[in-house]
Amino acid sequence: SQKIEQNSEALNIQEGKTATLTCNYTNYSPAYLQWYRQDPGRGPVFLLLIRENEKEKRKERLKVTFDTTLKQSLFHITASQPADSATYLCALMTTDSWGKLQFGAGTQVVVTP
């Protein structure tokens, strides 16, 4: 069966350090992988999209890698700040499911001063 797995344990990290989150998937051939941020009680907010033929994407302090052989994406927040505390969701889209994003359960990040 298809699965998208993110670490269910909260990631507690000190301000200034790099947070690294993992998204593993099975029985998918995603054409696109996206990362979203979600604050409690609010809608997800798009952060980054990476295509299957891209290895890495960056945006300010965020970096995403995509390894289709390992079926894994890593999401890095460098120089983390307390304002980065939130739940981060990865989402996959395959070429035969236009518009149908499949989300992982998300990983909560807590950045302490």
Partner 1 sequence: DSGVTQTPKHLITATGQRVTLRCSPRSGDLSVYWYQQSLDQGLQFLIQYYNGEERAKGNILERFSAQQFPDLHSELNLSSLELGDSALYFCASSASGGASETQYFGPGTRLLVL
Query: What residues line the site for partner 1 (CB under 8 A)?
Result: 31-32, 34, 41-46, 49, 51, 89, 93, 95, 97-106
- Let me know: does 112 contact 17? Beta carbons within 8 Å: no
In angstroms, rounded to a whole number, what is the distance separating the alpha carbons of residues 39 and 45?
A: 9
Residue nearer to partner 1 on the CB measure, 37 or 80: 37
Say which DSSP state 18 is in.
P
Strand partners, 24: 5, 72
Least distance in angstroms from the C-beta of 100 to partner 1: 5
| 91 or 111: CB nearest partner 1 | 91
Task: Report in angstroms how near the CB of residue 85 gets to partner 1 at its nearest.
Answer: 19
Taking the complex as a whole, the smallest distance from the CB of residue 27 to partner 1 amounts, in Å, to 16
Nearer to partner 1, 99 or 113 (CB): 99
Query: From the CB of 41, what's the least distance to partner 1, in Å?
Result: 8
- Spatial separation of the C-alpha atoms in residues 72 and 38, rounded to whole Å: 21
* 75 contacts: CB under 8 Å, gap ≥ 6: 20, 21, 22, 23, 35, 48, 62, 63, 64, 88, 90
Q: Pick the closer one to partner 1 by CB: 45 or 70.
A: 45
